[in-house]
Amino acid sequence: MTTNKDMKSVFRILLPLMMLASCKPAKDIYLFTSFREPAVDGLHFLYSRDGKHWTDLPGSWLKPEVGGDSSTKPAAGGKKIMRDPSMAQGPDGVWHLVWTCGWNGVKGFGYASSRDLIHWSQERLIPVMVHEPDAFNVWAPEIFYEKDSAQYLIVWATTIPGRFPKGLEDEKNNHRLYCTTTRDFVSFTPTRLYYDPGYSVIDPMILERGQKDFVLVFKDNTRLQRNIKVAFSDSPAGPWHDDSKAFTPEFTEGPTVAKVGAAYYIYFDGYRVKKYGAVKTTDFKTFTDASDEVSVPAGHKHGTIVMTDKKTLKRLLHERKKQSP
C-alpha cells in the first residue's frame, strides 16, 4: 500500500525534474540554413519570428574545407564549396550539419557539428557512395533525427548512369534517393536505395506530422516537371507511397517546410526567376500559393528550416554584432 510518506518522497524527486522541464526555453524562433552563390563562403542563416518574414544573419558561420572537384573551378575559382546545408539538433543539444561539397566526382557529403552554432567541429567528408564506382555525385543531403530509433537519417540524391530507366534527362542527371543512418557520426549503416518513384528525383525533405505520419517533400527532376511533390509513409525510413501531382511552378527546387499555426508553409527556390516562393497547406492534398505572404532576402539559396529558442538567436545576434567593424 502506498503511504503519504511514499507519495511525498516521490514528489520531492519529481518536483525538480518538473521545474527543469517547465524552464526549458520554448523553441519559437525559425532558423533557415542557407548558402550564397557561388557557394564558396559557406554557411549562412536567416531567422524569423513568425515563419513568414525572414531576416539575414549577415556573413558566413562556417567556411567549407572538404570536397571540391574540377567542375567547381570555373564558378568557384577552384575553392571548396558548401551548397544545400541541412541541419538537425539532437536530444543532447548538439547541432549536426550536412551539405553538398561538390557538383560531381565527390562520392560523399560534408559534415560538422556544433553546440552553439558559432564554434564548429573539424569538417569531415562522409564517403557514402564510394562503393559505387559509377556514382556521379552526392547532392543535397538532408538530415532528420528519428526520435523512436534515436538515430539520424541522412538522405541524398545520386545518379548512377545506366542503373535506372530514364526519361528525357541525360544519364548523368537521372537521380534516385539514397540513405544511411548513424547514432554517433562515426559509424554509418550501409548505404541503401531510399526512394525510387520511377523518375529522376532530388532535394528530399522529411516532415513528421504526427505519430506514424510522415511526409517526404521532394523535387521531381524530370525534364517535363522540375517542380515539387510530396509522398507519404508511416515511418521516416519509408517506404513512400502516393506521390502527388506537382503543386509548384516549373523550375522550382530546394523545398523545406515551416509550420505556422495550423498551416504548413512549403518554401521553394524559384531558380529561373531568382526568387523564393511558398505554398501553404493543412492536409498536403490541397495547396495554395502563399508567395505574397512571405518575404525572403534576395540571394538566399536552398536550405532547411529548423526551430530554436530566443536565447540562441540572441547569442547569434550578439556574435555578429561583436564581429562587425
- Name the residue range of residue 220's domain: 24-323
pLDDT at residue number 23: 58
Q: Which three cell numbers stand for residue 165?
A: 530507366
Residue 245 covered by a domain: yes
CA gap 270, 252 in Å, rounded: 5
Q: What is the pTM of this model?
A: 0.91
Closest by CA position to 166, among listed 201, 140, 195: 201
The helix (H) or strand (E) run that includes residue 76 is: helix 73-76
What CATH number should be reported for the domain holding residue 254? 2.115.10.20
**Chain segment 295-310, per-residue pLDDT in tens:** 999 999 999 999 999 9
Confidence (pLDDT) at 325: 60
Checking if the pLDDT of 19 tops 60, the result is no
Question: Does residue 14 lie within any of the structural domains?
Answer: no
Q: What is the pLDDT of residues 237-250, one digit of tens each?
A: 999 999 999 999 99
Residue 65 lies in a domain: yes
pLDDT of residue 72: 47
For residue 7, the model assigns a pLDDT of: 47
In the chain, the number of structural domains is 1
Q: Would you say residue 7 lies in a domain?
A: no
Does the residue 8 lie in any domain?
no
111 pLDDT above the threshold of 70: yes
Q: For position 76, what pLDDT does the model report?
A: 56
Evaluate whether residue 2 is within a structural domain.
no
pLDDT digits (tens, 9 = 90+) for 156-200: 999 999 999 988 888 999 999 999 999 999 999 999 999 999 999
18: confidence class by pLDDT, cuts 50, 70, 90: very low
pLDDT at 61: 98
Q: Is residue 1 part of a domain?
A: no
**Does residue 275 form part of some domain?**
yes
Give the phi and the psi of residue 321 in degrees, each rounded to 5.
-65, -40
Contact 229, 240 (CB under 8 A): no
What is the average per-residue pLDDT within 133-137?
96
